[in-house]
């Protein structure tokens, strides 16, 4: 019985000391879920590439993707019985604004962000606004078909907002405003 009593006392002391140690230790920090580990903002190039990929997937009818490189998305569409084509370039580097949050239209703006040149023309037409989605009340050029997928439209708005931050004018050193 003495051996069992000694064992019980040692076991009791061990449990008591473990309990005391557990109470004095600082609580362990909660770990973040794996989904939140990548909270960094995507680069400008990653943002433009993602937007261009979605633009390519959702080109409107009669439009054909031509190329995408360094923020310049190019597509063409036929005119005059499909014997001539107009080639449109959207420069994502020039997008500096978009519709207000209260607008049903989703359009983007930027000086010269879109240009179109048609066969047999020598000068391209430049535009400062084009529609991405929505009812397009102002009859902007609307080359994409995003409207049916409103979840994608919301993701595009976030991506365009990020792109606008990258493309926005930076305050020069010494400028007051």
Q: Which residues pair with 76 in a beta bridge?
A: 64, 87
H or E segment and range at residue 156: helix 150-167
Is 0.75 surpassed by the pTM of this model?
no
- Per the CB < 8 A criterion, the answer to whether 105 and 137 are in contact is yes
Read off φ and ψ for residue 42, nearest 5 degrees: -65, 155
Record the tokens describing residue 78, joined without a space. 């036929």
User: 106-118 and 97-98: which strand pairing?
Assistant: antiparallel
State the chain's mean pLDDT as an integer: 82
**What are the tens digits of pLDDT across the range 117-162?**
999 899 999 999 988 887 767 666 778 888 788 899 999 999 999 9
- Helix 44-57 and helix 150-167: axis angle, to 10°? 140
């Amino acid at each position: 019985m003495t051996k069992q009593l000694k064992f019980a006392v040692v076991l009791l002391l061990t449990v008591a000391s473990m309990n005391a140690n557990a109470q004095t230790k600082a609580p362990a920090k909660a770990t973040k879920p794996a989904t939140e580990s990548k909270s960094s903002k995507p680069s400008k190039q990653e943002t433009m590439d993602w937007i261009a990929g979605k633009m390519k997937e959702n080109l409107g009818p009669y439009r054909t993707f031509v190329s995408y490189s360094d923020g310049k998305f190019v597509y063409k569409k036929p005119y005059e019985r499909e014997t001539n084509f107009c080639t449109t370039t959207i420069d994502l580097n020039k997008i500096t604004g978009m519709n207000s949050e209260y607008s049903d239209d989703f359009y983007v703006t930027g000086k010269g962000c879109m240009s179109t040149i048609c066969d047999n023309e020598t000068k391209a037409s430049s535009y400062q606004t084009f529609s991405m989605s929505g009812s397009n009340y102002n009859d902007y050029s609307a080359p994409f078909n995003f409207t049916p997928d409103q979840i994608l439209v919301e993701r595009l708005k976030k991506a365009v907002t990020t792109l606008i931050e990258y493309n926005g004018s930076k305050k020069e050193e010494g400028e007051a405003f």
